[in-house]
Amino acid sequence: MNWIYNLIYGIKDKEIQELETKLEEVTSELEKIKEKEIINQKEQYYTYKYPFKDISYQRTDKLGIINIDVRQFLNSNNYLLPKFTGTNDEIAFNSLIWVIKNIKYVTDKTKYGLEEYWAFGYETLNHLKGDCEDGAILLYDILRFNGISAWKIRLSAGWVSYNNKKEGHAYITYYCEETDKWVILDWCYFPNFQEIKLRPDYKNDKMYGSVWFSFNEDYSWSQGLNTSAKRVLKQHK
């Protein structure tokens, strides 16, 4: 009779194990769906937080004066860009370090003979030289080339305190999911090798002042909190 008892209860144990395995799989899928939904909410919130504003840059080159939407400078998807692996934060850190080490800061006057000239990422990569926005544009391209979502990256332009005076500056702000904050990735004025998660919120960095505007390849924003973003923030508190 023992063999009958073992057969019956053995089958039950096996079924229970199968059910437990399926339950673990379903739970894992539900966690992934929940995590994805949280990320989608974050993306929606930060996308609509500030008012949209079309911003164009007047560039002078061999073709004359051309008005270019600032978003068109980003994500050139050059296959010659450096490739990195790891988490988003590790990729962001290594991308920043690569730009710091490989791009030499020179003024537009020195490089292009112009007071102001925004270079596309492929131009800066070709020359390995450029000023603040040139390196920032290239850094953006590297981050996107390595798989980081566009909504987590912005090129910001605004005031910085430098040598006891205020100057205009361009740099990357990057969204760190682990700390739920935007941090500064600056390759030239105030470069540092601090881990991404240890960097302060960009608003708390005393060397950086008010932002005039910011943009990624999809949107451009002006100053001022959008009312729709206030509603989104209230919903997710």
Of the chain, the percentage scoring pLDDT greater than 70 comes to: 78
Residue 29 lies in a domain: no
Quick one: average pLDDT of 193-222?
93
The pLDDT, as a whole number, for residue 231 is 43
Nearest 5 degrees, angle CA 158-CA 164-CA 170?
20
Whether 10 is in a domain gets the answer: no
Q: Give the whole-angstrom CA distance, residue 130 versus residue 109.
A: 10
Whole-angstrom Cα distance, residue 96 to residue 84? Answer: 11
How many domains does one find in the chain? 1
Phi/psi of residue 208, nearest 5 degrees: -110, 130
- What is the mean predicted confidence (pLDDT) over 25-51? 74
Residue 211 lies in a domain: yes
Q: Considering the domain boundaries, does residue 224 fall inside one?
A: yes
Q: Which residue has the tokens 């939407």?
A: 69
Task: Check which CATH number belongs to the domain holding 106 and give it.
Answer: 3.10.620.30
Q: Greatest CA span in the chain, whole angstroms?
A: 97
pLDDT band at 235 (very low <50, low <70, confident <90, very high): very low
- Give which of 49, 71, 75 is closest to 219, Cα–Cα: 71
Rounded Cα–Cα distance for residues 40 and 60 (Å): 39
| pLDDT > 90 in the chain, percent | 57
User: CA-CA distance, 56 to 58, in Å (whole number)?
Assistant: 7
**Residue 130 within a domain:** yes
pLDDT in tens, 152-183: 999 999 999 877 888 899 999 999 988 999 99
Cβ(190)–Cβ(181) under 8 Å? Answer: no
Whether residue 230 is predicted with pLDDT greater than 50 in this model: the reply is no
- 39 is a domain residue: no
Q: Is residue 6 one of the residues assigned to a domain? A: no
Q: How does pLDDT run across 72-127, given as a tens digit for each residue?
A: 999 987 889 999 999 999 999 999 999 999 999 999 999 888 888 999 999 999 99
Residue type at 235 in one-letter notation: Q
Question: What is the predicted pLDDT for the residue at 237?
Answer: 35
Give the structural domain span for 83: 48-235
Domain membership flag for residue 212: yes
Question: Given a cut of 90, is residue 135 above it in pLDDT?
Answer: yes
Per-residue confidence band for 149, with pLDDT thresholds at 50, 70 and 90: very high
